[in-house]
Amino acid sequence: MSERKVLNKYFPPDFDPSKIPRRKLAKDQQHKVRLMTPFSMQCTICGEYVAKGKKFNARKERVLGEDYLGIQVFRFYIRCPRCSGEITFKTDPQKADYVAEHGAVRNFEPWRDDDDANEAHRALRAAAEENNPMKALENRTLDSKREMDILDALDEIRMRNARSERVDANGVLDGIIGQGIEERELARRTIEEHDDALAKAIFKNAVDGDLVRRIVDGDDDDDDEWDAAAADDAAAATLDKAVRIVKSRAPVLETAGDSFLAPTAPKRKAASGLDLGVVIKKKKPASASASASAAAAAAKPTPVTQRRPPPPPPAASKPSALAMLGAAYGDSDSDADDE
């Protein structure tokens, strides 16, 4: 048991390998192997596709009578995973590939067609050069020229790569960025000039050729002052209008003074002839009071619009006989007191 996993086995001193009997096996004997499909194929019986690299338990055998430069050709047997049909393929030492033999066809591969075309072209060239030395010389000359062209192209590519390695990447990027900035600035200036020309053409007066003045930043102060003055005027006009409306709605009384708005005074009791001890002063004539009221109204500013006109002044009442008698006696008493 100790020698089960070692690499070297023990051979006795008298060991002779020629004395070991050899088994005689048939040349076409098959062996069971485990393999993967070397190419994608399609079963000709059921149409099942078998992908490249699929694992199968296969049987392997030698192909009698077929070899390439002493290399033996082998055949493999597998079964379709769907219909269990037998599929065989064998090795191709000449192309280092495999060839489908029976039960399946190989799927289309474009590079295999190119290889076949190149192989056919080489065969035709070899047949043409076999009995024609001049044709062989021409072909070799063309091949030499083609190789020189390829070498020149490779040298040019190497020189270009060397120049690219010597170039400073940061400098190139800075130049590209700066060029982009200059182009954007030039485009912006061009657009501004176009807009100015268009504005001048639109705002130009067709009669006298004058240009409409544009508002600049320096005119903001003047606009602010003008707006403040206009606001003050509007506020004063509103206040004056409100005062006039209030005065027009208030009760108008005829008084001796210049008071225009005054509360309503209580009415005095009319004098009678029995009240002889009461001193009654003489009233001012109605004409004088009316003229004073008219003068005061004329002095006041006349409103532009009024909702309701002021009420007319009250008419002067005629004095009675008793009032005239009382006034006469009152004057005589005042004269006697003065004397």
Q: What is the pTM of this model?
A: 0.38
Alpha-carbon span 144 to 215, nearest angstrom = 81
The larger pLDDT score, comparing residue 202 to residue 192, is at 192
pLDDT tens figures, 89-140: 999 998 889 999 999 999 988 877 777 788 888 888 888 888 888 888 998 9
**Residue 83 annotated as binding site:** yes
Q: 159 is written with which tokens?
A: 């020189």
pLDDT of residue 313: 57
With contact defined as beta carbons under 8 Å apart, do 205 and 212 qualify?
A: yes
**Residue 46 annotated as binding site:** yes
**Residue 287 annotated as binding site:** no
Alpha-carbon span 165 to 160, nearest angstrom = 9
Residue 22, pLDDT > 50, answer yes
32: three-class secondary structure by DSSP: strand
pLDDT tens figures, 323-336: 666 655 555 444 44
pLDDT tens figures, 81-103: 999 999 999 999 988 899 999 99
- Element spanning 129, H or E: helix 110-130
pLDDT tens figures, 224-277: 445 666 777 777 888 787 777 767 765 544 444 444 444 454 555 554 444 445
